Amino acid sequence: MKFGVVVFPGSNCDKDMIYVLKEILKQEVVELWHKDTDLQGVDFVVLPGGFSYGDYLRSGAIARFSPIMEKVVDFANQGGYVMGICNGFQVLCEAGLLPGTLKHNNSQTFICKNVWLKPASNDMALTANLDTNKAYQIPIAHGEGHYFADDATLAELKSNNQIIAYYSNSNAEVLDSANPNGSVNSIAGVCNAGKNVFGMMPHPERAADENLGNIDGRAFFESLLKNLVPA
């Protein structure tokens, strides 16, 4: 699998993502500059975390119109795999590739801590090999991570198994008290109807190296690699 990690001005998790894909998962990785218009033949595009374009206007609102994103949108619409983490998730929502949007955390503060995630289903490559009765410890670091979608969209997400994971406690119980940012239905991430575009606020790439003392995030990447269908 050849991965392309997009670098926007203000991206700051691009190097972590490249490190995990290349050094831990032994995949081929190229960087895709935001001004480029060539996806270099990658099989999978990753939009990393950070503060693209300084989060001006709204998180992801300006990045969504960068030259590379036009190609990413075409690629996704043709069934290509795309994953956005944190700011990358915000960009995908702004681009209309994922339903819903991300609002300011209910607390109005930036939250940087470990949270627990309960996978919602095994119905997509990203979660196919995860245990839906287990909580995975993954860090979050965001100010605008409150997932919001209207009731009709939420019902659709649920019935199509498009929810990646819920915020939970360490026993995989989805409770309001374990919801860090006010996300509707405790949703931490969603995919599109075609199940080829994924977005989540938590950072699995920050929990994939043994040296960091937590490799719960690696399971997400391993599930992806096992279950991706090459184009």
Partner 1 sequence: MTFTAEIDIMPQKALLDPQGKAVSSSMTNIGLAEISGVRIGKHISLQVEAASEEAAKAKVEEACKKLLANQITESFEFVIAQN
> In the complex, which residues of this chain contact partner 1 (CB under 8 A)?
57-58, 61-62, 65, 94, 100-101, 103-108, 148-150, 182
Please, which residue, 91 or 135, has the CB nearer to partner 1?
Answer: 91
146 is catalytic: no
Instruction: Output the smallest distance, CB 54 to partner 1, in A.
Output: 15
Please, which residue, 28 or 150, has the CB nearer to partner 1?
Answer: 150
Please, which residue, 103 or 195, has the CB nearer to partner 1?
Answer: 103
Instruction: Output the smallest distance, CB 228 to partner 1, in A.
Output: 30
28 is catalytic: no
Catalytic-labelled residue, pool 13, 86, 93, 191:
86
What stretches of the chain adopt beta strand conformation (E)?
Answer: 2-7, 28-33, 44-47, 81-85, 101-103, 111-119, 136-142, 146-148, 163-168, 187-191, 197-200
205 is catalytic: yes
- Whole-angstrom CA distances from 28 to 2, 6, 71, 78 are 5, 14, 20, 22
Question: Are the C-beta atoms of residues 122 and 132 closer than 8 Å to each other?
Answer: yes
Catalytic-labelled residue, pool 13, 144, 191, 203:
203
What span, in angstroms and rounded, lies between the C-alpha atoms of 142 and 109?
9
